[in-house]
Amino acid sequence: MQYTRLERNGNVAIVTIDRPDALNALNDAVLDDLATALDALEQKDRCLIITGAGSKSFIAGADIAVMKDQNKLEAVAFGKKGSDLFRRIETLPMPVIAAVNGYALGGGFELAMACDIRIASENAVFALPEVTLGIIPGFGGTQRIAKVVGASMAKEMLFSGRRMKADEAKSCGLVNAVYEPETLMEEAGKLASRIAANAPIAVRAAKTAVNLRTDADLDADLEVAMQLYGSCYETADQKNAMTAFVEKRKPEPFEDR
Ligand code: DAK
Protein backbone atom coordinates (compact mmCIF):
# COMPACT_ATOMS: atom_id res chain seq x y z
CA MET A 1 0.00 0.00 0.00
CA GLN A 2 1.61 3.23 -1.17
CA TYR A 3 -1.00 5.67 0.07
CA THR A 4 -2.41 4.06 3.20
CA ARG A 5 -0.87 2.80 6.43
CA LEU A 6 -2.52 0.28 8.73
CA GLU A 7 -1.19 0.12 12.29
CA ARG A 8 -2.48 -1.48 15.46
CA ASN A 9 -2.37 -0.49 19.09
CA GLY A 10 -3.77 -3.51 20.92
CA ASN A 11 -7.26 -4.07 19.57
CA VAL A 12 -7.51 -0.59 18.04
CA ALA A 13 -6.67 -0.32 14.33
CA ILE A 14 -5.45 2.97 12.84
CA VAL A 15 -5.65 3.69 9.11
CA THR A 16 -3.75 6.74 7.86
CA ILE A 17 -4.37 8.16 4.38
CA ASP A 18 -0.83 8.98 3.32
CA ARG A 19 -0.49 11.30 0.34
CA PRO A 20 0.62 14.51 2.04
CA ASP A 21 2.10 16.18 -1.06
CA ALA A 22 -1.47 16.46 -2.43
CA LEU A 23 -2.99 17.05 1.04
CA ASN A 24 -4.17 13.40 0.96
CA ALA A 25 -6.51 14.00 -2.01
CA LEU A 26 -8.34 10.88 -3.13
CA ASN A 27 -7.51 9.36 -6.50
CA ASP A 28 -8.08 5.78 -7.71
CA ALA A 29 -4.85 4.51 -6.15
CA VAL A 30 -5.66 6.03 -2.74
CA LEU A 31 -9.15 4.52 -2.83
CA ASP A 32 -7.67 1.13 -3.82
CA ASP A 33 -5.16 1.29 -0.95
CA LEU A 34 -7.88 2.25 1.50
CA ALA A 35 -9.92 -0.76 0.34
CA THR A 36 -6.86 -2.98 0.85
CA ALA A 37 -6.45 -1.63 4.39
CA LEU A 38 -10.10 -2.42 5.13
CA ASP A 39 -9.59 -5.94 3.73
CA ALA A 40 -6.83 -6.43 6.31
CA LEU A 41 -9.06 -5.61 9.30
CA GLU A 42 -9.78 -8.54 11.56
CA GLN A 43 -12.38 -9.45 14.13
CA LYS A 44 -9.89 -8.65 16.91
CA ASP A 45 -9.89 -4.99 15.74
CA ARG A 46 -12.63 -3.64 17.96
CA CYS A 47 -12.42 0.00 16.92
CA LEU A 48 -10.94 1.76 13.89
CA ILE A 49 -9.47 5.27 13.72
CA ILE A 50 -9.10 6.94 10.31
CA THR A 51 -6.83 9.99 9.96
CA GLY A 52 -4.66 11.81 7.41
CA ALA A 53 -0.87 12.05 7.19
CA GLY A 54 0.80 15.36 7.98
CA SER A 55 -0.34 18.25 10.12
CA LYS A 56 -2.30 20.23 7.56
CA SER A 57 -4.94 18.01 6.08
CA PHE A 58 -7.24 15.11 6.84
CA ILE A 59 -8.23 14.81 3.16
CA ALA A 60 -8.54 17.84 0.83
CA GLY A 61 -11.15 16.09 -1.31
CA ALA A 62 -11.25 13.96 -4.39
CA ASP A 63 -8.36 14.62 -6.77
CA ILE A 64 -9.42 17.55 -8.93
CA ALA A 65 -6.57 17.01 -11.39
CA VAL A 66 -8.06 13.56 -12.14
CA MET A 67 -11.71 14.65 -12.15
CA LYS A 68 -11.05 17.59 -14.45
CA ASP A 69 -10.81 15.44 -17.58
CA GLN A 70 -13.34 12.75 -16.71
CA ASN A 71 -16.38 12.24 -18.88
CA LYS A 72 -19.75 11.33 -17.40
CA LEU A 73 -19.13 7.57 -17.51
CA GLU A 74 -15.68 7.85 -15.92
CA ALA A 75 -17.00 10.24 -13.28
CA VAL A 76 -19.82 7.91 -12.31
CA ALA A 77 -17.40 4.95 -12.14
CA PHE A 78 -15.02 6.93 -9.90
CA GLY A 79 -17.92 8.16 -7.79
CA LYS A 80 -19.31 4.66 -7.40
CA LYS A 81 -15.94 3.32 -6.32
CA GLY A 82 -15.66 5.95 -3.57
CA SER A 83 -19.30 5.79 -2.64
CA ASP A 84 -19.23 1.97 -2.25
CA LEU A 85 -16.03 2.21 -0.22
CA PHE A 86 -17.48 4.84 2.12
CA ARG A 87 -20.62 2.73 2.51
CA ARG A 88 -18.36 -0.15 3.45
CA ILE A 89 -16.71 2.02 6.13
CA GLU A 90 -20.13 3.03 7.40
CA THR A 91 -21.23 -0.59 7.71
CA LEU A 92 -18.01 -2.05 9.16
CA PRO A 93 -18.93 -4.08 12.22
CA MET A 94 -16.62 -2.13 14.54
CA PRO A 95 -17.09 1.57 15.40
CA VAL A 96 -15.06 3.97 13.25
CA ILE A 97 -13.67 7.28 14.54
CA ALA A 98 -12.55 10.00 12.12
CA ALA A 99 -9.66 11.95 13.67
CA VAL A 100 -9.88 15.06 11.48
CA ASN A 101 -6.45 16.70 11.57
CA GLY A 102 -6.88 19.68 9.22
CA TYR A 103 -8.73 20.15 5.93
CA ALA A 104 -11.74 17.87 5.47
CA LEU A 105 -13.00 19.13 2.15
CA GLY A 106 -15.32 17.56 -0.38
CA GLY A 107 -14.68 13.82 -0.48
CA GLY A 108 -12.64 14.13 2.74
CA PHE A 109 -15.60 15.59 4.58
CA GLU A 110 -17.76 12.87 3.01
CA LEU A 111 -15.42 10.19 4.36
CA ALA A 112 -15.58 11.75 7.84
CA MET A 113 -19.38 11.64 7.66
CA ALA A 114 -19.33 7.93 6.80
CA CYS A 115 -17.53 7.34 10.12
CA ASP A 116 -19.52 6.77 13.31
CA ILE A 117 -17.81 9.46 15.39
CA ARG A 118 -15.84 12.56 14.43
CA ILE A 119 -13.30 14.39 16.57
CA ALA A 120 -11.14 17.20 15.25
CA SER A 121 -8.01 19.24 15.82
CA GLU A 122 -8.30 23.02 16.34
CA ASN A 123 -7.05 23.61 12.78
CA ALA A 124 -9.73 21.40 11.17
CA VAL A 125 -11.73 22.98 8.35
CA PHE A 126 -14.85 21.42 6.88
CA ALA A 127 -16.47 22.30 3.54
CA LEU A 128 -18.33 20.83 0.61
CA PRO A 129 -16.88 23.06 -2.14
CA GLU A 130 -18.20 20.91 -5.00
CA VAL A 131 -20.65 23.52 -6.32
CA THR A 132 -17.72 25.91 -6.73
CA LEU A 133 -16.26 23.25 -9.05
CA GLY A 134 -19.44 22.70 -11.06
CA ILE A 135 -20.36 19.38 -9.43
CA ILE A 136 -22.06 18.00 -6.31
CA PRO A 137 -20.62 15.67 -3.66
CA GLY A 138 -20.43 12.19 -5.16
CA PHE A 139 -19.40 9.93 -2.30
CA GLY A 140 -22.72 10.05 -0.42
CA GLY A 141 -22.26 13.43 1.28
CA THR A 142 -25.57 14.79 -0.02
CA GLN A 143 -27.33 11.93 1.75
CA ARG A 144 -25.38 12.03 5.00
CA ILE A 145 -24.88 15.69 5.83
CA ALA A 146 -28.45 16.51 6.79
CA LYS A 147 -28.45 13.62 9.24
CA VAL A 148 -25.33 15.02 10.88
CA VAL A 149 -26.03 18.78 11.05
CA GLY A 150 -29.76 19.09 10.19
CA ALA A 151 -31.32 20.06 6.88
CA SER A 152 -30.89 23.84 7.09
CA MET A 153 -27.15 23.86 7.86
CA ALA A 154 -26.66 20.98 5.42
CA LYS A 155 -28.20 22.99 2.62
CA GLU A 156 -26.21 26.11 3.54
CA MET A 157 -22.96 24.14 3.31
CA LEU A 158 -23.96 22.32 0.11
CA PHE A 159 -25.24 25.43 -1.71
CA SER A 160 -22.57 27.90 -0.55
CA GLY A 161 -19.50 25.67 -0.37
CA ARG A 162 -18.38 27.77 2.60
CA ARG A 163 -15.77 26.61 5.08
CA MET A 164 -16.58 25.76 8.67
CA LYS A 165 -13.89 25.85 11.35
CA ALA A 166 -13.58 23.38 14.21
CA ASP A 167 -15.34 25.47 16.86
CA GLU A 168 -18.43 25.91 14.69
CA ALA A 169 -18.29 22.22 13.73
CA LYS A 170 -18.42 21.39 17.42
CA SER A 171 -21.30 23.75 18.11
CA CYS A 172 -23.45 22.25 15.34
CA GLY A 173 -22.75 18.65 16.31
CA LEU A 174 -20.55 17.80 13.34
CA VAL A 175 -17.70 16.83 15.65
CA ASN A 176 -17.94 15.56 19.21
CA ALA A 177 -14.80 17.23 20.51
CA VAL A 178 -11.94 19.52 19.45
CA TYR A 179 -8.36 19.08 20.65
CA GLU A 180 -4.99 20.72 20.16
CA PRO A 181 -3.37 19.19 17.05
CA GLU A 182 -0.61 17.57 19.14
CA THR A 183 -3.09 15.66 21.30
CA LEU A 184 -5.69 14.65 18.69
CA MET A 185 -4.38 11.12 18.08
CA GLU A 186 -3.84 10.49 21.77
CA GLU A 187 -7.45 11.50 22.48
CA ALA A 188 -8.69 9.41 19.56
CA GLY A 189 -6.76 6.46 20.99
CA LYS A 190 -8.27 6.96 24.45
CA LEU A 191 -11.81 7.00 23.07
CA ALA A 192 -11.13 4.00 20.85
CA SER A 193 -9.62 2.03 23.74
CA ARG A 194 -12.62 2.80 25.90
CA ILE A 195 -14.94 1.51 23.16
CA ALA A 196 -12.69 -1.50 22.54
CA ALA A 197 -12.81 -2.49 26.20
CA ASN A 198 -16.59 -2.96 26.08
CA ALA A 199 -18.42 -6.15 25.15
CA PRO A 200 -17.77 -6.45 21.38
CA ILE A 201 -21.04 -8.16 20.51
CA ALA A 202 -22.98 -5.46 22.37
CA VAL A 203 -21.03 -2.63 20.72
CA ARG A 204 -21.61 -4.14 17.27
CA ALA A 205 -25.30 -4.63 18.03
CA ALA A 206 -25.57 -0.99 19.17
CA LYS A 207 -24.02 0.23 15.92
CA THR A 208 -26.33 -1.93 13.82
CA ALA A 209 -29.38 -0.75 15.78
CA VAL A 210 -28.56 2.96 15.43
CA ASN A 211 -28.00 2.54 11.70
CA LEU A 212 -31.20 0.60 10.97
CA ARG A 213 -33.19 3.62 9.77
CA THR A 214 -30.23 4.99 7.81
CA ASP A 215 -29.65 1.71 6.07
CA ALA A 216 -33.27 1.32 5.00
CA ASP A 217 -33.24 3.96 2.25
CA LEU A 218 -29.63 4.92 1.75
CA ASP A 219 -28.59 2.54 -1.03
CA ALA A 220 -31.38 3.60 -3.39
CA ASP A 221 -30.82 7.28 -2.60
CA LEU A 222 -27.08 6.97 -3.26
CA GLU A 223 -27.85 5.60 -6.71
CA VAL A 224 -30.01 8.62 -7.61
CA ALA A 225 -27.41 11.03 -6.19
CA MET A 226 -24.79 9.35 -8.39
CA GLN A 227 -26.82 10.00 -11.54
CA LEU A 228 -27.28 13.66 -10.54
CA TYR A 229 -23.55 13.86 -9.96
CA GLY A 230 -22.80 12.34 -13.37
CA SER A 231 -24.98 14.87 -15.15
CA CYS A 232 -22.71 17.69 -13.88
CA TYR A 233 -19.91 16.24 -16.03
CA GLU A 234 -21.75 17.22 -19.19
CA THR A 235 -21.52 20.91 -18.30
CA ALA A 236 -19.17 23.69 -19.34
CA ASP A 237 -19.23 25.02 -15.77
CA GLN A 238 -17.53 21.85 -14.43
CA LYS A 239 -14.75 22.02 -17.05
CA ASN A 240 -14.25 25.74 -16.40
CA ALA A 241 -13.99 25.40 -12.61
CA MET A 242 -11.77 22.32 -12.43
CA THR A 243 -9.41 23.55 -15.13
CA ALA A 244 -9.09 26.82 -13.21
CA PHE A 245 -8.19 24.95 -9.98
CA VAL A 246 -5.46 22.96 -11.71
CA GLU A 247 -4.15 26.11 -13.37
CA LYS A 248 -4.20 27.87 -9.97
CA ARG A 249 -6.53 30.69 -11.03
CA LYS A 250 -10.12 31.77 -10.47
CA PRO A 251 -12.76 30.23 -12.76
CA GLU A 252 -14.58 32.36 -15.34
CA PRO A 253 -18.10 33.34 -14.19
CA PHE A 254 -20.48 30.36 -14.38
CA GLU A 255 -22.72 30.27 -17.45
CA ASP A 256 -25.45 27.84 -16.35
CA ARG A 257 -24.65 25.41 -19.11
N1 DAK B 1 -7.12 17.52 -5.64
C2 DAK B 1 -5.88 17.50 -6.18
N3 DAK B 1 -4.83 18.14 -5.67
C4 DAK B 1 -5.03 18.84 -4.54
C5 DAK B 1 -6.30 18.91 -3.91
C6 DAK B 1 -7.38 18.19 -4.51
N7 DAK B 1 -8.60 18.17 -3.98
N8 DAK B 1 -6.18 19.70 -2.82
C9 DAK B 1 -4.89 20.09 -2.77
N10 DAK B 1 -4.20 19.57 -3.80
C11 DAK B 1 -2.79 19.76 -4.10
C12 DAK B 1 -2.52 21.12 -4.71
O13 DAK B 1 -2.78 21.13 -6.10
C14 DAK B 1 -1.05 21.29 -4.38
O15 DAK B 1 -0.29 20.52 -5.30
P16 DAK B 1 1.10 21.08 -5.92
O17 DAK B 1 0.74 22.34 -6.63
O18 DAK B 1 1.98 21.30 -4.71
O19 DAK B 1 1.57 19.98 -6.83
C20 DAK B 1 -0.91 20.61 -3.03
O21 DAK B 1 -2.03 19.75 -2.90
C22 DAK B 1 -0.95 21.59 -1.88
O23 DAK B 1 -2.11 22.39 -2.02
P24 DAK B 1 -2.06 23.99 -2.05
O25 DAK B 1 -0.77 24.48 -2.58
O26 DAK B 1 -3.31 24.44 -2.72
O27 DAK B 1 -2.10 24.30 -0.47
P28 DAK B 1 -2.76 25.55 0.23
O29 DAK B 1 -2.39 25.46 1.66
O30 DAK B 1 -2.45 26.82 -0.51
O31 DAK B 1 -4.34 25.34 0.10
C32 DAK B 1 -6.38 24.05 0.15
C33 DAK B 1 -4.93 24.23 0.69
C34 DAK B 1 -6.92 22.74 0.74
C35 DAK B 1 -7.25 25.23 0.66
C36 DAK B 1 -6.36 24.03 -1.38
O37 DAK B 1 -5.39 23.08 -1.81
C38 DAK B 1 -7.68 23.67 -1.98
O39 DAK B 1 -8.58 24.51 -2.07
N40 DAK B 1 -7.82 22.42 -2.44
C41 DAK B 1 -8.99 21.93 -3.11
C42 DAK B 1 -10.06 21.65 -2.11
C43 DAK B 1 -11.33 21.21 -2.78
O44 DAK B 1 -11.97 21.94 -3.52
N45 DAK B 1 -11.71 19.97 -2.50
C46 DAK B 1 -12.91 19.41 -2.95
C47 DAK B 1 -12.64 18.62 -4.17
S48 DAK B 1 -14.13 18.13 -4.92
C49 DAK B 1 -17.81 12.15 -7.00
C50 DAK B 1 -16.72 11.79 -6.32
C51 DAK B 1 -16.15 12.63 -5.44
C52 DAK B 1 -16.60 13.90 -5.29
C53 DAK B 1 -17.68 14.30 -6.01
C54 DAK B 1 -18.29 13.44 -6.84
N55 DAK B 1 -18.37 11.29 -7.95
C56 DAK B 1 -17.42 10.85 -8.97
C57 DAK B 1 -19.70 10.87 -7.92
C58 DAK B 1 -15.90 14.78 -4.44
C59 DAK B 1 -15.49 15.93 -4.92
C60 DAK B 1 -14.48 16.67 -4.20
O61 DAK B 1 -13.95 16.25 -3.23
DSSP assignments along 8-35, one per residue = EETTEEEEEE--GGGTT-B-HHHHHHHH
Candidate of 3, 17, 21, 23 to mutate for ligand 1, largest count of ligand atoms within 8 Å of Cβ: 23
Question: Is 110 annotated as catalytic?
Answer: yes
How much is the pLDDT for 212?
Answer: 85
> Distance, CA 42 to ligand 1 centroid (Å)?
32
Which of 91-105, 126-140, 206-220, 222-236 shows the lowest per-residue confidence on average (mean pLDDT)? 206-220
Which DSSP category does 248 fall into? T
Query: Could you give the CA distance from residue 61 to residue 106 in angstroms, rounded to a whole number?
Result: 5
Query: Could you give the CA distance from residue 219 to residue 226 in angstroms, rounded to a whole number?
Result: 11
How much is the pLDDT for 78?
Answer: 93
Question: Is 252 annotated as catalytic?
Answer: no
> Distance, CA 13 to ligand 1 centroid (Å)?
27
Nearest CA to ligand 1 atom 25: 22
Q: What is the tens place of the pLDDT at every residue in 168-223?
A: 999 999 999 999 999 999 999 999 999 999 999 999 999 999 988 776 688 888 88
Q: Domain-by-domain residue ranges, the chain?
A: 4-182
How much is the pLDDT for 153?
Answer: 97
The closest-lying atom of ligand 1 relative to the alpha carbon of residue 82 is 50
Query: Could you give the CA distance from residue 61 to residue 83 in angstroms, rounded to a whole number?
Result: 13
Catalytic one among 42, 90, 122, 130?
130
Query: Could you give the CA distance from residue 220 to residue 77 in angstroms, rounded to a whole number?
Result: 17
Using only C-alpha atoms, the chain has a radius of gyration, in whole angstroms, of: 18
**Whole-structure pTM value:** 0.94
Of 3.40.50.720, 3.90.226.10, 2.160.10.10, 3.40.50.2000, the CATH number of 4-182 is: 3.90.226.10
